[in-house]
Amino acid sequence: MNKENSNNIGIAGTGFYIPERILTNFDLEKIVDTTDEWIRTRTGIEERRTASDEEATSDLAAKAGEKALKDADINPKEIDLLIIATHFPDHHFPSTACITQHKLGMKNAVCFDLSAACTGSIYSLYVAESLMKNSNYKTAMIIGTEIFSRTVDWQDRNTCILFGDGAGAIILKKGQKEKSIISFDFGSDGSNADLIKIPAGGSRLPPTINTIRNKQHYIQMEGKKVYRFAKKMMVHSVNKALEKAELSRKDIDLLIPHQANIRILKAVAKKLHLPLEKIMINLQKYGNTSAASIPIALDEAISEGKIKEGDIVVLTAFGAGLTWGEIVIRW
């Protein structure tokens, strides 16, 4: 390995997995007061995937991880670090990362979960890169994995229409100059923590008959306020990340945003003066898969030939917390 490049860190492989079961807008018409047209015009979503009764979050993660390992042509024992981004783990503890490590045979990997909601994969990617730069870790995997279908109220048309299940994985490798992070921007605003939440199940409201009866174990969201926040903060943060990289909006070859809502993506594109052809959009197929959405979209963008060598790729996300994050990659 060239000594000059020994500390460079780049993306070596990607992969994703989505459950087989498809839930279309027409299926939702049968269980909640909504229509296909209403969902499509307000969200851009046409269908989403839901996990089978036998699948847990770690199962989705392991299948995405297998594909990333194959893509990178890496033995599982080479992985030094595994970070799982999720807020729907298999259990409160042990971590889903440790369970996934065992399933994939990554016996040499240090493992932990990271909770930053829909921004989780962005946070994990930068945390992994930072740890690799300051340690002996040579190869890391981050996986965003979620099973939202078990935490939505299927009678609440404002939330159940939005979310889908899935997992996406990214492998980072030291000594690889190309496909590397060149700048970032992150932030949090806890004063708006109540805008997206699951009220019960933790230490504040432990599970009781009343919390179950009151549907406090389902996701709650103030959609209009989240929309305003996301539109403003994603544009602001993308600009900051570009400035740190000494780049401008004109330098963006592909923007890969968190796949939350088509209206948000179009508003962000307009503010950044980007044509929709430069925005990776796949939410029509999968809905909002939270921390999994960016790794899934990245892998699809690669497989569809939307990214070429030397391109500037920007990853941008927002989520509960509230959190946000942007990463600029030179491919």
Tell me, yes or no, if 5 is annotated catalytic.
Answer: no
The CA–CA distances, whole Å, from 101 to 23, 177, 261 equal 30, 27, 32
* 8 A C-beta contact, residue 17 and residue 58: no
Q: CB-side exposure of 178: number of CA atoms within 13 Å?
A: 8
Tell me, yes or no, if 92 is annotated catalytic.
Answer: no
Tell me, yes or no, if 118 is annotated catalytic.
Answer: yes
- Choosing from 98, 111, 160, 288, the catalytic residue is 288
Measured distance CA(103)–CA(3) in Å, rounded: 34
Q: Residue 89: name the closest of 114, 71, 64, 54 by CA.
A: 114
Which tokens is 152 given?
A: 């939505």
Q: Residue 108: name the closest of 69, 141, 77, 143 by CA.
A: 77
- Choosing from 87, 118, 160, 261, the catalytic residue is 118
* 8 A C-beta contact, residue 317 and residue 188: no
The CA–CA distances, whole Å, from 311 to 108, 184, 291 equal 33, 16, 24
Q: Which positions are annotated as active-site residues?
A: 118, 258, 288
